[in-house]
Amino acid sequence: MCRLVAEAVATRSSTRWTAADPILEVRGLRTWFPVRSGVLGRTVAQVRAVDGVDLAIRRGETLGLVGESGCGKSTLGRSILRLIEPTAGEVLFKGQDVLRRSPAAMRRSRREMAMIFQDPFASLDPRQSVGDILGEALAIHGLGGPHPQREARIGELLQLVGLSPRLAGRYPHEFSGGQRQRIGIARALAVDPSFIVCDEPISALDVSIQAQIINLLQRLQEQLDLTYLFIAHDLSVVKHISDRIAVMYVGKIVEVSPARELYRRPLHPYTGSLLSAIPIPDPQVERARERIILKGDVASPVHPPSGCRFHTRCFKAQPSCSESEPALDTVVEGDHRAACFFPLS
């Protein structure tokens, strides 16, 4: 992916947010799902989708979250918003623990926290017009006022994402994939949030449209003072929208770094393998460079390996890697941290 995205979006500053206060802090978050068996449905194991995650997201920044499919990225994003109830841990939003809030208090919190979903068609009700979809989001939270004011607000939201207010009467199937994602973004903005989880918002779109959506998200961030958790598996996209990047493997965060620093000098071997998989546009450089090919399968979140979860595939693993689990602050270089006993040089 893409030269098109790289050319369309300027790389963000890696030092812009250093002094900013966290708007969101995740502490020891776990989200486990029971594996049931037998007629009585007894729990025989647990899927450790998110298993002890610590994160901090600063006000106004974009934190990219990357990793292979099934590593727990989307589960983490949904757990933060309590779309999935976590098993344990804390999610502090503006200093208040979201997980301890009552249903009424949580409903108020949802005005400040929103989500943009991966599939712009599946996330929109095909039986509702665009105006009804946006109007419903406003009505749930008692926003928008009387009907004329609500209609005006719907028109403002459509204009905000680059669509004509005259399209409010149309239905999702009448729009292209990129237009449907714009509608999904407008729905997320309807409640005037300050924090948005973007769950792979461009992965279902054509390459020619992806850069437009990224540019739109960046413009909205500057205009509305938004904070993003941007989930993706494509490192080339995350690079150009993120201020910092967190790398996830089998329920654990294994590296956190400013975006430029991560691409310049990754510390965790897993991060190095992900970066080596990104194609380089220059054919000569691409042929000459050394690739990191991982052996074996991704570890099971039901029965994860002892110690470091990556050691069964790691080309730098030593016997000690299977005996104890490295902490995320094992390697500390400014704002660059990695959970590894033998980091890349």
How is domain 2-112+193-338 classified at the CATH fold level? Rossmann fold (3.40.50)
For the chain, domain boundaries: 2-112+193-338
Residues 6 or more apart from 208 whose CB is under 8 A from it? Answer: 4
Compute the mean pLDDT over every residue in the chain, rounded to the nearest whole number: 87
pLDDT at 141 over 80: no
Residue 228, beta-bridge partner list: 62, 196
- Quick: pLDDT tens for 223-280: 999 999 999 987 888 888 999 999 999 999 999 999 999 999 999 999 999 998 877 7
Quick check: helix, strand or coil at residue 334?
Answer: coil
**Prediction pTM value:** 0.89
- Quick: pLDDT tens for 66-119: 998 889 999 999 999 999 999 999 999 999 999 998 888 888 888 899 999 988
Q: What's the helix, strand, coil split of the chain in %, to 5? A: 35, 25, 40
- Quick: pLDDT tens for 150-181: 889 999 999 999 999 999 999 999 999 899 99
Q: What is the reported pLDDT for 286?
A: 64
Going by the DSSP 8-state scheme, the letter that residue 300 receives in this structure is P
- Quick: pLDDT tens for 42-68: 888 999 999 999 999 999 999 999 998
- Average pLDDT estimate for 293-318: 91
Name the token pair of 300: 């099971």
Q: What is the reported pLDDT for 4?
A: 41
- Quick: pLDDT tens for 195-226: 999 999 988 888 889 999 999 999 999 999 99
> Higher pLDDT residue, 242 or 13?
242
